[in-house]
Amino acid sequence: MTNRLPRREFVQISAAGLSIAAVAGGAFGQQPAAQEQKGPPTRFQIACMTLVYSAFPLQRALTGIRDAGYRYVAWGVNHSENGKNVPVLAQDAPVAQARDLGQRCRDMGLEPVMMFSTIYPEAKNGLEVLRHRILQAAAGKVPQVLTFGHTRGGNHALWVERLKQLGPVARQNGVLLVVKQHGGETGTGAACAKITRDVNDAGIKVNYDAGNVMDYLEGKVNPLTDLDACASEVRSFCIKDHRFFPPPHRDCGPGFGEVDHYRLLHRVAFTGHTIPLCCENIFAHGVPRPRKPDGVDALARRAREYLEFVIQAVQPGNK
């Protein structure tokens, strides 16, 4: 049975989608394009995080993501299950649980590409939890584990020390540990790349989150030029946008904000790598989030379609 979206929500979402063209001229839209790239095309994997369905049970999230046309999914973080906030996969969950969850997704036609670590590397138990997260990911056949730092920062040396220990564990298990921007020590892609280059291990790379760069640094750093400083280290994206007007400024779904995703993804369009694009925020700026899962489904579908158009434009002729 097809879930029908209430007319009011449909009109809101459709109207917001039509505004995408106007967004391109935003604060970060008038930047020169990166130099023409030559090399094998990047294999982009458009995924939706279960996170956007956190108000609903995990099963409803997986069903919605599949029915919105996604082939890839990212796990995180918690879901409402019978009135309780339940982790998708607890930090100490046995690896067999991760294996079962991975198979559950595949049985639905969804390939897991990323999972949240839900811990800072500098945390007291950060090393132990991240090591176990890598083992969980390996069991579930999830290729990337996402981590980020505390917004206060100041732990560069500890990060490098611990990530040097985790790199071999990640490589031995066929998993990539990726670091994204989150203020503090990891406020920019350049800062994250400084960490991964100091670690110098193929098991540790960068995840890029343009929305977070704009949010935590309040628009003081252009994500396009920031990505230039770390593009060679980037192996995935947390896809979200950010808008400063109308206030208050906040994150939103791709195409609803001021990030130029055409110029953003053009910078990594011909790397030869497989790069997941994991939608972490799909919601419209200044509009209440849908109260029903059907509304989330519609926004998830819109985000996927938008990114598909962007990829077609930055990789012309690539099928």
- Check pLDDT > 70 for residue 75: yes
Q: What is the pLDDT of residue 277?
A: 99
- Check pLDDT > 90 for residue 318: no
CA-to-CA dists, residue 160 to 17, 195, 196, angstroms = 42, 6, 8
pLDDT tier for residue 31 given thresholds of 50, 70 and 90? low
Tens digits of residue pLDDT in 209-264: 999 999 999 999 999 999 999 999 999 999 999 999 999 999 999 999 999 999 99
77 cis-preceded (ω within 30 degrees of 0): yes
Question: Which is more confidently placed, 30 or 81?
Answer: 81
pTM of the model as a whole: 0.89
Q: What is the pLDDT of residue 36?
A: 60
Q: What is the pLDDT of residue 149?
A: 81
pLDDT tier for residue 317 given thresholds of 50, 70 and 90? confident
- Check pLDDT > 60 for residue 27: no
Sorted by where each starts, the structural domains of the chain and their CATH numbers stand as: 38-314 (3.20.20.150)
- Chain mean pLDDT for the chain: 90
The H or E element containing residue 234 is: strand 234-239
Average pLDDT of 254-281? 98
